[in-house]
Structure 1
Amino acid sequence: MKVLVIRFSSIGDIVLTTPVLRCLKEQLAHAEVHYLTKLTFSPILMHNPHIDKLWYLHSDLAPVIEELKKEKFDCIIDLHHNLRTMQVKRALKVKKCYSFPKLNIQKWLLTNLKIDLMPDKSIVDRYMETVKPLRVANDGKGLDHFLPPQKQLGNKDIPMSHWGGYVGCVIGGSMNTKKLPVDKWKEFCRLSPYPIMLLGGPEDMYEGGKIAEMDPVKIYNSCGKFNLSESAELVKMARVVVSNDTGLMHIAAAYKKPIISLWGNTSPEMGMFPYYGHNNLKERIAPELTIMENKALRCHPCSKIGYDKCPKGHFKCMNELDMTQVADRVRSSWNATAKKLVF
């Protein structure tokens, strides 16, 4: 069976689709799995052994659609379910098309009326429901992320102060209201006794510099210095990860890292929490995971994707997170992590 899986963005969402790819490949006889995404996200998938061929969306869908028509797919698994994916499905005229239920009404009720009708399950489990008609089931192995075969980083890339281990702090985020403020990161860094690696893209370099300047030996600002695969390798080598709701958080979950997950004006109840293959938020809580969320705040959550700035102006969802509690959880996870890093 030749299957086309579609998910255009973003880093975290694509990592969360990887159990579907693995289960399709391992549970369907002679499955040939293709994946359509944006070229920007190719580093996340290009080394995945469960994908037979990657297809890329550029600015215009028409050229890739013409190429996809030649493949004669037996089935399309739409894990994005938007206007562009509808255009692809309509053009390819494949009889078996299964689309991911986005639960937009439930999300609206949660963010606007604070009525929580979201299922207590990861978005991964909802992705897996899309392939049930093919008799494919979740294998419980969690997320996948595959690095290039050759090791990219060595001790020359990481300060000697961090060779014995470090806390990976993912400071970036797609929207400002999903990012812990610089002053809160500084507070955490003062409370944590361990070396700290700041992780993020070039857009996070300035804020990383402001955090690192308080102690340049203890705190290493890697933001903008490494590509996505190298940053993922830094996540893999971390003893414990403290992260905003962003792509590297899900890559950390793929490597089964202890995670302290920080939530601003969005909510893990929407299903985008770190997933280890077995955990929900209420009934099956992962011991590796700590959720930091200001649930007592009446205006929280106020968005499913985030804003450039807090609509209320106070940003209490992040500003009132307890950094002492975060530091205590890091200390507990660090002590439980017996394996030392080897560079």
Structure 2
Amino acid sequence: MQHPKFILARFSSIGDIVMAAPVVQALRAHYGDEAQIDFITLNKFKGATELIAGINSIYTVEKSTVEVTPQLKENGYDYLIDLHSNVRSRSLARSLNILTFKINKLGAARLSLVLGIRKRPVDHFIDRSLKLLSPFSISECTDNPWGEIAFSKPEMELPKKYLALAPGATHIGKRLPESSIDAICSNSDLPIVIVGGSDDTDLAKRFEDRYPSKVISAAGVCSLKETAHIMKYAQVAVGGDTGAMHIATAVGTALVSVWGCTRPSLGLYPWRTNPKSIILQPEGRDNRPCSRHGARCRYKKLGKHLCIKDVTPERITSAISSIL
């Protein structure tokens, strides 16, 4: 087979889709421009997929893969690389009826970590994804494993040097406390550009108003490509276990990642990150995650504060200073 046709499936979310980039890069490096490498995701995450170089076509669905199945069948794919292994991707595999390579989500192992049964960290999601390519004798692309992440310059004027801050998250156990954000803003010698989605707009605006000569809010007004630009040209990026963390990693920026109710042991830590990057975990609490997605904190049930508050503002500002 000279010119294979691949369809990759990952339906959510931003960080998980960005982590598909090394798979696309490895396929493209092995087969060159002749291979067809397409991607299917949810409509609302198309922007994340557009960050990945080397994809020929992106297909999106609102709910079900049935929406695009006829078109995908016409394309005559040879292989499905299933990076999600959920109801949608399994439905797609049945419909296309082609050779499928499915990610091992290690659900039982990750749950065992949360329950405290397992101590050993699970393999990183990207390493597990790349193993799917072993039947093709393809390994990680060592020269540039992330590929060229797409970015575009925002319309807003950015300082020549700045710190990129991504304080928000979908789940409360991953959000930076306001006390930590305030410490970062008050101690930074660099201007700060706050990035995030529309849910982070009010928070970013409060700190922009509090530090008008230092903080610029880009939350809710920048596309993901513009956010990637902000991350790429920052002197340092700071954030929790979120999609912004993976974008910063992919563009090679030194990163301070602040961990709360999730832990790096779940296999979603910054992969092949800038060597200056620093991971901060809660002090005084073990490495056992409270939940797989950061939605629950087991210490909160005991009347204590969220895990992420045990990464003190002083530790965060010290880590930033050590990188700069």
Question: TM-score over 0.5 for the alignment?
Answer: yes
- Number of residues paired by the alignment? 317
Q: CA deviation at 1:209?
A: 2.4
Match of 1:216 among 212, 218, 234: 212
Counterpart for residue 284 of structure 2: 296
Looking at structure 1, the residues matched to 277 and 171 of structure 2 have their Cα atoms a distance apart, in angstroms, of 23
Among 93, 97, 100, the residue aligned to 1:97:
100
Which of 195, 200, 203 lines up with 1:199 in the alignment?
195
What is the one-letter code of the residue matched to 2:126?
V
Query: For the residues of structure 1 that align with 2:237 and 2:117, how far apart are their CA atoms?
Result: 30
User: Which residue of the other structure, out of 86, 93, 109, is the alignment partner of 2:90?
Assistant: 86
What displacement does 1:114 show?
Answer: 5.2
Matched-pair contact (CA < 8 Å) for 1:178–1:265: yes
Give how far 1:9 is off.
Answer: 0.8
Amino acid at match of 1:315: H
Q: State whether residues 145 and 251 of structure 1, in contact with CA within 8 Å, keep that contact through their aligned partners in structure 2.
A: no
1:323 match? 313
The one-character-per-residue Cα deviations of 1:40-63 (angstroms, maximum 9, x if unpaired) are: 222233364411111112223212
Deviations for 1:77-122, whole angstroms, at most 9, x for unmatched residues?
100001111111011111x211000111111111012522333x43
Q: Tell me the secondary structure at the aligned position of residue 69 of structure 1.
A: helix
Q: Say whether residues 1:248 and 2:244 are aligned partners.
A: yes
Match of 2:253 in 1: 257
Question: Is the 1:245–1:263 contact (alpha carbons within 8 Å) kept by the matching residues of 2?
Answer: yes
Aligned twin of 1:341: none
Deviation at 1:224, TM superposition (A): 1.5
In the alignment, is residue 333 of structure 1 matched against residue 323 of structure 2? yes
Distance 2:145 2:170 in 1: 24
How far does the alpha carbon of each residue in 1:154-174 deviate from its partner, in whole angstroms, 9 at most, with x for none? 6xx13xxx6231111101112
Q: Distance in 1 between matches of 2:214 and 2:90?
A: 50
Pair 311,57 (structure 1): closer, same or farther in 2 beyond 3 Å:
farther
Once the two structures are TM-superposed, the CA of residue 36 in structure 1 deviates from its matched residue by 0.8
Q: Is the 8 A contact 1:143 1:253 kept in 2?
A: no
Contact 1:212 1:219 in 2 (8 A): yes
Pairing 1:39-54 to 2, within 5 Å after superposition? 39-46=43-50, 48-54=52-58
Query: Structure 2 CA distance, aligned partners of 1:270 and 1:251?
Result: 18
Give the fraction of aligned pairs with identical amino acids, expressed as a percent.
26
Q: Which runs of 5+ in 2 are unaligned?
A: none
Where do 5+ consecutive residues of structure 1 fail to align? Answer: 280-285, 335-343
Report the CA distance between 1:312 and its aligned residue: 4.2
Q: Is the 8 A contact 2:26 2:145 kept in 1?
A: no
User: How far apart, CA to CA, are the structure 2 residues paired with 1:308 and 1:214?
Assistant: 30
2:139 partner SS: coil
- Aligned partner of 1:11 in structure 2 is 14
Query: What displacement does 1:12 show?
Result: 0.4
Q: What is the RMSD computed on CA atoms of the aligned residues?
A: 2.1
Indicate the SS of the match to 2:72: helix
Please state whether the residue corresponding to 1:139 is helix, strand or coil: coil
**Counterparts in 2 of 1:52 and 1:117: CA distance versus 1, 3 Å:** same
